[in-house]
Amino acid sequence: MKVIRTLVILDRGKTIDSAEWEKIHTAYTDAIRAMLHTPGSKRFTIRRKSRKLNKLGKPTSHWNRNGFTGIKRESTLWLGHARQRCPHIS
C-alpha cells in the first residue's frame, strides 16, 4: 500500500521532533507499505465494487468487494512486526 502523507492533528510538546516519534512513524509506515492485497500479489489492489451474479448471470443484491477480513489479517500481521521493532507501541 502507498503512504501519501502523514497528517499530524495535534503536537503537544514537539512530539514529532523526537527520535521516539521517528521510530514509531517509520515502523507504521513500513508496515503499511508492506501490505499486499490480494495475498501473493506484488501490490495492493482495490477492486471496483460490482454486483455478484446469480447462476443465470443476472445481477443480485450482493456485492463483490475487496473483503475486509483479508485486509485486516494483512494489517495485523505487519503491525505485529512493527510492534516487535518498537516494543513501546501499544
Q: Global pTM?
A: 0.55
| Assigned domain for 43 exists | yes
CA-derived radius of gyration, the chain: 18
DSSP conformation class of 37 = B
| Domain extent at residue 77 | 21-85
- Number of independent structural domains in the chain: 1
Distances (CA, A) of 3 to 28, 49, 81, 88: 10, 23, 18, 23
| Assigned domain for 81 exists | yes
Q: Where are the alpha helices (DSSP H) in 1-90?
A: 19-34, 68-85
| Assigned domain for 16 exists | no
What nine digits make up the cell of 37? 492485497
What nine digits make up the cell of 27? 515502523
Reported as a single tens digit per residue, the pLDDT across 23-66 is: 888 888 888 887 776 667 777 777 778 889 999 999 999 987 76
